[in-house]
Amino acid sequence: MQLKSVDISKTASAASIIFDALKKAIIEGDLEEGAPLRQDEIARMFNTSRIPVREAISRLEEHGLVKSQRYKGAVVSGLSAEEAGEIFDYRSLLEPHVIRTAVPRMTPEILAKARGYLEAFAKSDDPMAWGNLNRKFHATLYNASDLSFHLEAIESALDRVDRYLRAQLVLTDGMARANDEHAHIQEACERGDADLAAELTQQHILGAKDSLLKHLSKM
């Protein structure tokens, strides 16, 4: 199992640390679809008991990243093409509303921070960094909305599809298109055009959906 060992025997938030580590490993693809999560092994790696491990796995199951299988226990969840499409359709309704709300509240500092992530994404040649920079770009713009429930829902949806999006960016022309679309979204925000930013965001999500589904159909 590809996880970095951490001694958390004296840490009060052991379950949260294990949850974060496992979530990161799943999203970044270090733990692949169908990989078993053996509680004893994880407990040894983090120098703790099985209790916080069980709690962390239960939280991952609530997020849809892990599922329990008969005779196998907890394993990393997969995602069917139908499920992926549904998640993207959901995002295409939610995220345009969030950015439309956010645009009037964006400060020069927020816009400068988002542009920094946009430029870092465009310049990066490290596939492992693309997914993180992509999320930071969008989150910086969305956070100005102060719609905390919506933002949490977006994060949860992205967690489910992130590892597939990373693969899609690497194996298709997703990077070039994403760079161009990010730039147009940023420009709309800088002009204060909330409706255009929302429209471009929806197109961006649905375009990524089409590309991802084509990629999944070949797997």
Instruction: Tell me the pTM.
Output: 0.78
Residues 96 and 114 in one domain: yes
Read off the pLDDT of each residue in 13-39 and give the average, rounded to a whole number: 87
Specify the pLDDT at position 162. 83
Residues 69 and 93 in one domain: no
pLDDT in tens, 196-214: 999 999 999 999 898 888 8
Residues 72 and 85 in one domain: no
> Could you please report the per-residue DSSP string of the chain?
--------TT-TTHHHHHHHHHHHHHHTTSS-TT-B--HHHHHHHTTS-HHHHHHHHHHHHHTTSEEEETTTEEEE----HHHHHHHHHHHHHHHHHHHHHHGGG--HHHHHHHHHHHHHHHH---HHHHHHHHHHHHHHHHGGG--HHHHHHHHHHHHHHHHHHHHHHHHSSHHHHHHHHHHHHHHHHHTT-HHHHHHHHHHHHHHHHHHHHHHHHT-
Residue 70's domain spans which residues?
14-76
